[in-house]
Amino acid sequence: MSRQISEERKKRIDEVLSRRQKDLTLIIDNIWDPHNVSAVLRSCDAFGVAGVHLYYTDSQWPDLAQKSSASAKKWIERSEHIDAAEMVAELKGQGMRILRTGFSDTARPVMDFDFTKPTAVILSNEHRGTSPELAKLVPDEIYIPMQGMVQSFNVSVAAAIILYQAFTQRDAAGMYDEPSFSREELESLKTQWYSR
């Protein structure tokens, strides 16, 4: 049964979808806390990220059903993965450059990267870091410069900062002014979103 939707809501959905970024994504790497995952999805929605990749091999899939920011989950597509090599190959096949957060000697600050290019950023458990099998496949590391005693942000805060950096670059380049999805893809997405 189709749900009734107001013209005002349709217009809002159309506007949001026209600004969604098809070629900017996050890989959520074994982050077990559903509050953190929900907060990451909320930032994705805020900055126009169309979808994320959930990579879970040693943590339980996050239960997002009853969380405070869980409403964002219905607006963000989620792809589940358990094979690192397959996921990385799939993203690279889509022309994505893949980065991971970290603090090695070769890590570069977030401002050094051009986020107008198709990009996927791996966000990992802040205590354990990137899963070893992913780290082997993704050498490029990104970090957020910090001026205090603490060495890392909470993962959901880090996601928001990285996505804001990407947003400012893409917005300055006019990438939110034209849809990144094809007309056919947009029509399909509208049909899905109108019933949510």
Residues flagged as binding site for S-adenosyl-L-methionine: 101, 144
Count Cβ atoms below 10 Å from residue 128 Cβ, excluding itself: 13
> Exposed, middle or buried by CB within 10 Å (0-12, 13-18, 19+), for 93?
exposed
DSSP string, 42-95: HHHHHTTB-EEEEE-SSSPPP--TT-TTGGGGGGSEEEEES-HHHHHHHHHHTT
Cα 33 to the center of its chain, rounded Å: 16
Type of residue found at 70: A
Binding site members: 101, 144
For tokens 């970090």, the residue is 143
Rounded Cα distance between 191 and 196, Å, is 9
